[in-house]
Structure 1
Amino acid sequence: MALTSKHIFVNLHVKDVKRSMAFFTGLGFAFNMQFTDEEKAACLEIGDNMFAMLLAEPFFQSFTKKEIVDTDKHAQLTIALSTESREAVDEIVNRAVALGGKLYTDPADHGFMYQWGFQDPDGHIWEIAYMDMNALEGEDKA
């Protein structure tokens, strides 16, 4: 039997929940306040049934026996999100930098896909991409 899930919750450690909420609100995201207390955790709504739990580091530590990753030195994961246009990719990344994030990559044009990345104030890597499915249909599939 294949595993399928109706929701995804990605847990990310943050130094300051309120600061993280302000950053992502500035990017245009909303929060599910039913699972947010602004001190220990905030439930970032990424899309339909997709969430990132922004957990204060001491609270995050209660979920694992492993050491929390230092995002200045290590990448634990990257979060890739798609958007509706190339212009939206640029707008989101530029806004993230204006709100205190840092550029992570240069824009990359792969023909059918355009992407650009930033780090949030806690160093987590977000890749924003636009995929032109019509251009992909024209690609030679090996």
Structure 2
Amino acid sequence: MSTTLFVNLPVKDLDQSKNFFGALGFQLFGMADDMASVVINERTQVMLLAEPTFAGYARNQVADPSAATQVILVFGLDNPAEVDEMAEKALAAGATAIGEPINDGVRYQRGFADLDGHQWSALCLVK
């Protein structure tokens, strides 16, 4: 079975979020006034939904990512240079660094929060 994953995230300012993910080098697809899809790869997309639109799909109250962590999204990359490149692009586009880089001999990882406070990491497994 081949499955495509769509991760849906509420955003306060859709245009700012589109610019942020564009600055990370991702293509956008299927844009509408209240949503846009960030193409991670051929089988994974992050759907950016304006908060009112997201709330219309959500079963429960929409969480405030600046006050609580509901999920940590991780980009799996090939090497430490790609991790650094992704993190530096994110910071330059307005992200906030989370913690210090982790290099424990098994993984190299850097964390950041996007413009809405969603927590992301760039990670590679050290070989």
> TM-score w.r.t. structure 1 length?
0.85
Higher strand share: 2
Aligned positions, number: 127
Cα distance in 2 between the residues matched to 1:82 and 1:64 = 27
- The answer for the alignment partner of 1:81 in structure 2 is 75
Q: Which runs of 5+ in 2 are unaligned?
A: none
Pairs within 5 Å for 1:1-142: 5-32=2-29, 35-37=30-32, 39-132=33-126, 135=127
Q: Which runs of 5+ in 1 are unaligned?
A: 136-142
Runs ≥4 in structure 1, deviation > 4 angstroms?
none
SS at match of 2:8: strand
Instruction: Give the structure, 1 or 2, with the largest relative contact order (CA under 8 Å, sep 6 or more).
Output: 2
SS at match of 2:15: helix
Question: How much is the aligned-residue C-alpha RMSD, in angstroms?
Answer: 1.2
Cα distance in 1 between the residues matched to 2:42 and 2:104 = 27
> TM-score w.r.t. structure 2 length?
0.94
Q: Identity of aligned pairs, percent?
A: 33
